[in-house]
Amino acid sequence: MTASYGFDTLQIHAGARPDPATGARQTPIYQTTAYVFRDADHAAALFNLQEVGFIYSRLTNPTVAVLQERIATLEGGVGAVCCASGHAAQIMALFPLMAPGRNIVASTRLYGGTVTQFSQTIKRFGWSARFVDVDDPAAIAAAIDDDTRAIFCEAIANPGGHIADLAEIARVADRAGLPLIVDNTSATPYLCRPIEHGATLVVHSTTKYLTGNGTVTGGAVVDSGRFDWSASGKFASLSAPEPAYHGLKFHETFGPLAFTFHGIAVGLRDLGMTMNPQGAHYTLMGIETLSLRMERHVANAVRVATWLENDPRIAHVTYAGLPSSPYHGLVPKVCPKGAGALFTFALKGGYAACVRLVDAVELFSHVANLGDTRSLIIHSASTTHRQLTPEQQVAAGAGPDVVRVSIGLEDADDLIADLDQALDKAMAAAA
């Protein structure tokens, strides 16, 4: 579907056609593992990547394919690969780029699970990460060496809601001849389109705002199609002959879609981090209302953050939608439709008050998730960022006195009333 349609139209129609067999208007759930080949030549052509089609649902599935096209269209990319979770998407994004001894430069302000994945788990592959403050382009450039293969950041950082100057980071990446990978989970393509700011790849935890209802996990990697994988010798998986496909060169053969084809033909084939069709169906239904939901998320977040900032029990609020935020000036540039609905606030009662607060809320749900229709709250230092050192927690915006909220779609007055009563109990307990 042409991208000349408006966002609201594309979020409903992109990638979808009435089912040719039945006329079904909603995308069917193709709950099947395998697909019948027309004949032996057809099967051989599919396995040789000479023809596009369906072989086995670890690789491709019609329901998932619709979701991939829809997300790619909304992000302004040429293709996408969906997988089992946001964490899977991060590994899928790095897999064609990395090799033992290679490194990435990553933001210090990332979701705690991502920091752990990058600082600990990827070491088992022989990869490493160098964490820097991405607000400082000079620090990013200084961390890059001959073994660096990518720069990674979040458009709107989890947990603090800080906004990255993506165009500035992209300039550093371009000068170094490296891809910029942007996690757009917290912003969604409705609020921010990182490819327009120079990103090479965009990753999502589709579990969050894209699905929007807390029902299924999933991830996606969107390919901008704009990076020259053959310009240097750094990305052999995409530019050099692939032994498993009789010497096929992905970039030479597939051009702008090289990364996408590699993600399916090698990444999903061998890593097997596949999204199931039922999960894809739930996410497709969620995306149909994405713009409507994000508008309400942002409006509620502004109301709640403003109230919190003016409350004497609160030390500070990190929401970039507030004029007091140092990131407020980036909102019109990076997220012109709003600063999202994820942010943190610090309690003057410290750690003890934070723990009491999450136990005292009634409308907010105390869960390790974000992007739900329901408002969510968590004390990151004792949960999602617990595995990090105290220094890493502070750098990530998840210090001991900080609570993270994901503002949902309820009545904003009800959310404020719930926080008010819970703060009373929290401060009394901490006194």
Nearest to 373 by CA among 263, 262, 294: 294
Read off the tokens for 237.
């998986």
Give pLDDT tens digits for 143-192: 999 999 999 999 999 988 999 999 999 999 999 999 999 999 999 999 99
pLDDT digits (tens, 9 = 90+) for 106-154: 999 998 889 999 999 999 999 999 999 999 999 999 999 999 999 999 9
Is 381's pLDDT higher than 90?
A: no
Give the pLDDT confidence score for residue 4 in this predicted structure: 84
pLDDT at residue 1 tops 70: no
Judge contact between 298 and 156, C-beta under 8 A.
no
**Higher per-residue pLDDT: 333 or 388:** 333
Provide the residue ranges of all domains of the chain, joining segments of one domain with +: 7-97+179-286, 290-430
Residue 3 has pLDDT above 60, yes or no: no
Report in angstroms the alpha-carbon separations of 15 from 73, 75, 302, 405: 8, 13, 33, 33
pLDDT at position 364: 97
Residue type (1 letter), 275: M
Phi, psi values for residue 294, rounded to 5°: -65, -35
Identify the architecture of domain 7-97+179-286 in CATH.
Answer: 3-Layer(aba) Sandwich (3.40)
Query: Domain spanning 290-430 has what CATH number?
Result: 3.90.1150.10
Mean pLDDT of the chain: 95
Q: Is 82 within 8 Å of 275 (Cβ atoms)?
A: yes
pTM exceeds 0.75: yes
